Amino acid sequence: MSPTSRSPATAGEERFFEVGNPPINLLRVMPGVPEDLVFEQISILLGYIRHLVREGDMTDDHKLLGAADYLSALARALIDDLEIARSPMD
């Protein structure tokens, strides 16, 4: 299979979930995850995030809002990592 015919996949570059002082990123996106699978998981994550934000906002539950924040960091890392994989190498 030629490089141009391969399905786009994650690059494995994006890191997320800062911990410690000074902060370090604890987790990263794994390389080679097919784009269609990534988009499916992002869609699921966004549904969970939306639910957590609504519930957290209505009940003033900061734990739910915190969970939504972590999941949104994961979703963002997945999208950003696909963009890295798609960008032409210089």
Domain of residue 61, residue span: 30-85
Average pLDDT over residues 30-59: 97
Indicate whether 58 belongs to any domain: yes
What's 9's DSSP letter? B
The pLDDT confidence band at residue 90, using thresholds 50, 70 and 90, is: low
Residue 21 within a domain? no
Rounded distance between C-alpha atoms, residue 27 and residue 58, angstroms: 30
Whether 67 is covered by a domain: the verdict is yes
For residue 2, what pLDDT is reported? 38
Distance between CA atoms of residues 5 and 17, nearest Å: 33
pTM above 0.75, yes or no: yes
Task: Give per-residue pLDDT as tens, 76-88.
Answer: 999 999 999 998 7
- Confidence grade of residue 55 (pLDDT, cut at 50, 70, 90): very high
Q: Rounded to a whole number, what is the largest CA-CA distance in the chain?
A: 53
* Separation of alpha carbons 48 and 53, rounded Å: 9
What does the DSSP assignment read for 35-47? HHHHHHHHHHHHH
28-42 pLDDT per residue, tens: 999 999 999 999 999
Count of domains in the chain? 1
What percent of the chain clears pLDDT 70, i.e. is strictly above it?
91
